[in-house]
Amino acid sequence: MNDALLSARNLSVRFGGVLAVNNVSFDVKQGEVFTLIGPNGAGKTTVFNLISRIYTPTTGEIDYMGAKLTDQPPHKIAALGIARTFQNIELFEHATVLHNLLIGRHTHRQTGVWSEIFFTQKTRDAEIQAREKAEQVIDFLDLQHHRDSYVAGLPYGVRKVVELARALCTEPKLLLLDEPSSGLNVEETDDMAFWIQDIKNELGITVLMVEHDMTLVSKVSDRVLAMNQGEVLAMGTPREVQNDPGVIEAYLGSIDDVSSLRRQHKTVDVHAGVRS
Ligand SMILES: Nc1ncnc2c1ncn2[C@@H]1O[C@H](COP(=O)(O)OP(=O)(O)OP(=O)(O)O)[C@@H](O)[C@H]1O
Ligand SMILES: [Mg+2]
């Protein structure tokens, strides 16, 4: 019995001469936080874009909840319960936080054009449900204070949480987070770790994340997949992957350097390099 929510099988995608993803397979299990790590250009965002159906794989398949995701058109993805945040925040800058969340919710609307034009009972009910969900998410992520603020005026760290909120408003089963800590300071990154843990534990949402900050990765991930130059390097617990010689080599260039660093009692952070 396979308890995978999503299965990627032998995924490859080529852009001209670049094999951005090369024969990558992994399962994301229901209820886990599964994290992709790897140096710049490893192919992590491309894997997300394959799952979001922005790209079609050159070869390979993605199964999601027992059906072939690769058969689905991109506009169906949100309705299938897959939501994402972007490496570079993508919000409507000149709208309030609440409005951004209501826009995020729009994929849930089952109402037709005529029903929207004449503002029927069905449309009214959908509107009320959308508002209720947005308010719930605002409370859940502690955004009450920013509810009616314009996104353009908000600090970067708050915008990252608003983007997360917008994704949650679609009530996803699978949440894709592309570098949730990028641009955040240490304190904001700690907060992000708490939100991700709450999303998993309290909302039961499965999370597939791309992340560079290994402190955050170790704190929240059940399993980690390391990629380099489009290929899978290692898969396992955060500790197993961080200690994998192939992973260390990909980040630092030479295994000999790492052995000598270990002798000097220095630690290896697979993204930041070497710390004293
Ligand atoms: N649309 C595209 N057209 C051409 N090449 C692309 C395209 N998207 C990605 N690539 C290439 O594919 C490779 C993988 O890129 P990708 O953005 O997936 O890396 P990444 O692991 O997310 O890196 P980073 O950590 O910098 O975000 C890179 O060589 C990139 O230049
Ligand atoms: Mg990326």
The predicted-structure confidence for 222-234, as pLDDT tens digits, reads as follows 999 999 999 999 9
Q: Pick from 250, 208, 207, 261: which is nearest to 226 by CA?
A: 250
Read off the pLDDT of residues 217-264 as tens digits, 9 standing for 90 and up: 999 999 999 999 999 999 999 999 999 999 998 876 644 444 444 444
As a whole number of angstroms, the distance between CA 276 and CA 136 comes to 44
- Give helix then strand counts, H and E, for the chain: 10, 12
Q: What is the pLDDT of residue 275?
A: 43
Q: Are residues 144 and 195 in the same domain?
A: no
Q: How many Cβ atoms from other residues are within 10 Å of residue 237's Cβ? A: 13
As a whole number of angstroms, the distance between CA 101 and CA 165 comes to 7
DSSP 69: G
Asked whether residue 185 is domain-assigned, the answer is yes
DSSP 212: -
As a whole number of angstroms, the distance between CA 86 and CA 59 comes to 25
- Ligand 1 touching residue 111 (CB < 6 A): no
Q: What is the pLDDT of residue 80?
A: 93
Q: Pick from 137, 101, 106, 148: which is nearest to 123 by CA?
A: 106
Q: What is the pLDDT of residue 125?
A: 81
Asked whether residue 50 is domain-assigned, the answer is yes
Q: Are residues 65 and 179 in the same domain?
A: yes
Domain termination site, one of 169, 190, 217: 169
As a whole number of angstroms, the distance between CA 132 and CA 168 comes to 13
Range of the domain at 109: 91-169
Asked whether residue 138 is domain-assigned, the answer is yes
Q: Are residues 184 and 223 in the same domain?
A: yes
Q: Are residues 236 and 108 in the same domain?
A: no
Q: Are residues 138 and 157 in the same domain?
A: yes
Q: CA-CA-CA-CA torsion for 144, 147, 149, 151, nearest 10 degrees?
A: 110
CATH number, position 75: 3.40.50.300
Count of domains forming the chain: 2
Read off the pLDDT of residues 94-151 as tens digits, 9 standing for 90 and up: 999 999 999 877 666 566 666 666 667 777 787 888 899 999 999 999 999 999 999 9
3-state secondary structure of 104: helix
- Ligand 1 touching residue 182 (CB < 6 A): no
- Ligand 1 touching residue 20 (CB < 6 A): yes
Asked whether residue 86 is domain-assigned, the answer is no
Q: Name the residue at shortest CA distance from atom 7 of ligand 1.
A: 15
